[in-house]
């Protein structure tokens, strides 16, 4: 009698419907993050002096790299378990912050420590968020 409630239904479209549902945000968020990151990297490297082609190139390359990594992580995040997904977000954030701190001409230890601290914080917060959402 109640078999129809337990039977899995067919969803129309499959992967195409999911891509259409998350299409704008999947492209817009990495793009905005990449643009902001690139501008900030070029601004840090500028250090109050005139803008040069090398600074613009550094900002462009670092922004494109971050946008590509964010887009790739956004595409594969649903296939990862929550621990590995949180570690991926932590590692991406740690490397991005560590690189920005290294542009300020501080020591390697300071950029590593600050990147690691921020990455561990992001790992903890994202793990908690993923755990709370899935349970």
pLDDT band with cut points at 50, 70 and 90 for residue 3: low
pLDDT band with cut points at 50, 70 and 90 for residue 47: confident
Whole-number average pLDDT of the chain: 87
The whole-number pLDDT of residue 20 equals 45
Region of 38 on the Ramachandran plot (φ > 0 left; ψ -120 to 50 alpha; else beta): alpha
Question: pLDDT tens digits for 110-135?
Answer: 999 999 999 999 999 999 999 998 87
Task: Identify the helix (H) or strand (E) that includes residue 57.
Answer: helix 53-76
Listed range (18-22, 26-30, 98-102, 125-129) with the worst mean pLDDT: 18-22
């Amino acid at each position: 009698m109640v078999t129809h409630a337990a039977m899995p239904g067919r969803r129309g479209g499959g992967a195409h419907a999911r891509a259409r549902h998350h299409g704008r945000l999947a492209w817009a968020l990495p793009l905005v993050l990449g643009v902001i990151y690139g501008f900030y990297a070029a601004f840090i490297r500028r250090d109050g002096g005139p803008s040069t082609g090398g600074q613009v190139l550094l900002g462009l390359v670092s922004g494109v790299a971050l946008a590509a990594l964010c887009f790739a992580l956004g595409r594969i995040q649903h296939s990862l378990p929550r621990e590995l997904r949180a570690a991926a977000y932590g590692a991406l954030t740690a490397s991005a912050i560590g690189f920005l701190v290294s542009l300020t001409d501080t020591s390697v230890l300071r950029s590593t420590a600050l990147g690691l601290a921020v990455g561990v914080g992001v790992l903890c917060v994202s793990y908690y968020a993923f755990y709370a959402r899935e349970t």
